[in-house]
């Protein structure tokens, strides 16, 4: 029977029909998801979103080893930086984000903590990445949530869906891996409370081209930093945050008249102003009419200092 040419032809037809059926199902799921992300329902859910879908999506990954995952929208690519063991071991999400941001000198806004020993080592990247980018992930995200009891995260479901939609087009073979664990005293740089160490500069040089935001680069504002927090190290950290995402810092001043909350002064609405206000948790206020509209001034207060240096 198996040697019968007619049987083989019929079997091949059945296989092709099955493949076509699977393709149609996958296509419909993709179209439905794309429509969902653009729908009014999505708009309501996106109120809980932290990602503007333009800037790089940064995720601190931690357990018995620590890594930083970055998805960059333009150019579209994804990379994981491993910083080795004993860097941010067993830290809560908020503490890990603070230490990651201090270590890399760039804003890290999302965390993913593994609750068992399936840490994001370099040799486990392919498996974990493939699992997330599979076609079953959106169903899990929209029903039970991604990860279940195996991990804790502050990534909202809508942001997870948006990230999946972007990453599904980047195959696991295109995922970039970089090992920074050879940089000395990594644990000390993450434990540092008052001064950014020399390691921060090395970490920052490694990631800066992946966190750079071309929209901020192209708007090319002159950005002035006013440190009114009472903490000297704030100036350097803010400068590092801004330059990392593509901003151009033109002046740094210290004001002894301290303020509590961050204030961003700008003469016109812009993406750069909104993005920086989000990073530093600033209230946006109109600059005086005599102010240069090509400039943005960020007045940093005590709340920002407490976030990173207490």
Q: Is the pLDDT of residue 42 over 80?
A: no
C-beta pairs of 14-22 under 8 Å, 24+ apart in sequence: none
What would you report as the CA-atom Rg of the chain, rounded to the nearest whole angstrom? 23
Q: Is the pLDDT of residue 309 over 50?
A: yes
Where residue 307 falls among pLDDT bands split at 50, 70, 90? very high
Q: How does pLDDT run across 195-218, given as a tens digit for each residue? A: 455 678 889 999 999 999 999 999
| pLDDT, position 40 | 43
Where residue 186 falls among pLDDT bands split at 50, 70, 90? very low
| pLDDT, position 19 | 61
Q: How does pLDDT run across 116-163, given as a tens digit for each residue? A: 655 445 556 677 788 888 888 888 887 766 666 677 888 888 899 999
pTM of the model: 0.79
Q: How does pLDDT run across 278-294, given as a tens digit for each residue? A: 999 999 999 876 567 88
Q: Is the pLDDT of residue 29 over 60?
A: no
d(CA 240, CA 249): 9
| pLDDT, position 182 | 79
265 vs 183, residue with greater confidence:
265
| pLDDT, position 50 | 86
34 vs 216, residue with greater confidence:
216
């Amino acid at each position: 029977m198996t040697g019968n040419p007619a049987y083989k032809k019929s079997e091949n037809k059945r296989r092709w029909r099955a493949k076509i059926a699977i393709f149609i199902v996958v296509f419909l799921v993709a179209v439905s998801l794309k429509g969902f992300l653009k729908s009014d329902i999505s708009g309501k859910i996106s109120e809980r979103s932290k990602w503007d879908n333009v800037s790089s999506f940064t995720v601190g990954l931690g357990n018995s080893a620590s890594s930083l995952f970055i998805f960059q929208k333009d150019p579209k690519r994804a990379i994981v930086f491993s910083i080795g063991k004993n860097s941010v071991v067993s830290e809560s999400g908020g503490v890990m984000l603070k230490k990651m941001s201090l270590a890399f000198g760039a804003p890290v806004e999302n965390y993913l903590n593994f609750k068992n020993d399936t840490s994001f080592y370099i040799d486990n990247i392919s498996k974990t990445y493939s699992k997330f980018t599979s076609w079953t992930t959106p169903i899990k995200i929209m029903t039970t949530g991604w990860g279940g009891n195996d991990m804790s995260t502050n990534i909202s479901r809508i942001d997870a869906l948006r990230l999946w939609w972007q990453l599904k087009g980047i195959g696991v073979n295109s995922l970039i891996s970089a090992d920074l664990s050879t940089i000395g005293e990594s644990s000390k740089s993450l434990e540092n409370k008052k001064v950014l160490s020399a390691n921060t500069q090395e970490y920052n040089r490694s990631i800066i081209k992946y966190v750079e935001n071309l929209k901020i680069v192209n708007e090319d504002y002159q950005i002035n930093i006013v440190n009114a927090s009472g903490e000297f190290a704030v100036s350097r950290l803010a400068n590092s945050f801004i330059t990392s995402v593509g901003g151009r810092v033109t002046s740094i001043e210290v004001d002894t008249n301290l303020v509590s909350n961050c204030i961003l002064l700008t003469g016109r609405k812009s993406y750069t102003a909104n993005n920086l206000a989000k990073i530093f948790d600033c209230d946006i206020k109109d600059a005086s009419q005599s102010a240069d509209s090509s400039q943005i001034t960020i007045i940093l207060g005590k709340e920002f200092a407490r976030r990173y240096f207490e």
